[in-house]
Amino acid sequence: MRILLTNDDGIEADGMCALESFLRTMPGILQVVTVAPSEERSCCGHSVNSRIPFSFIEVARDRYAVDSWPADCVRLAIRHLQFKPDVVLSGINHGGNLGVDIWMSGTCSAAREAVWLGFPAIALSQYRKPTVETDWQASAVRAWDIISKLMSRTQSNRGFWNVNLPAIASQEDMLEPVDCPAELAPLEFTLEPHSDGVLYRGSYQNRPRSTGSDVDVCFNGRPSVTFCSI
């Protein structure tokens, strides 16, 4: 198996690096190519650079830092570097990408771009809570368990899988993932006065959730799996 790995948190982000290190030890994985933004590009939606040149550098063998958006990283890997992966993995994101986050997420935009270019893709995120310490190595193992299950399903060229891992202790056994729809209610927020204008304020943990939605499933301690049509 040949894997293209990307994210929106940046080339040195803990979540992606943990998954990358894990994948490189797995038998049956022939090559992992990592092409990720040189710095954090979270909440960028499906931004792409179509007007000016953007640079990239090979920081190590099969690791490229790109001065542009997550979707551009996928474009660069597939169209310029000519890498043809069996699957594109985007993440593991630092925080959840649940409900309407899917449309704002750079993590999800990379997966969406991959499908548009003809390759199966999975977006991966780790929901986080202040009361639970994140163990990225445990997240990588849990993510691979779900990736393996999804890869055994019939692939579709009409969408990508969006996976959110629950915030549970590293020693706790993860429950089976749940196929569920994305929550449609947006996160409530305010814009507070600030010296530079206004400042976004919202409580991710208190966001609305419908029974059986991805937010409800993940917040209740189980991994959510949502098929996102393109």
Instruction: Identify the CATH number of the domain in which residue 86 sits.
Output: 3.40.1210.10
Cβ count within 10 A of residue 100: 16
pLDDT at 155 over 80: no
Task: Please indicate, yes or no, whether the overall pTM of this predicted structure exceeds 0.85.
Answer: yes
pLDDT at 82 over 80: yes
CA 67 – CA 50 distance, rounded (Å) = 13
Residue 108 pLDDT level (bands cut at 50, 70, 90): very high
How many structural domains does the chain have? 1
CA 60 – CA 96 distance, rounded (Å) = 29
Considering the chain, what is the average pLDDT of its residues? 96
* Surface-to-core class of residue 196, CB atoms within 10 Å of its CB (0-12 exposed, 13-18 middle, 19+ buried): exposed
Domain that holds residue 211: 2-229
Q: What percent of the chain has pLDDT over 90?
A: 96
Question: What amino acid is encoded at 18 in this protein?
Answer: A
134-156 average pLDDT score: 92
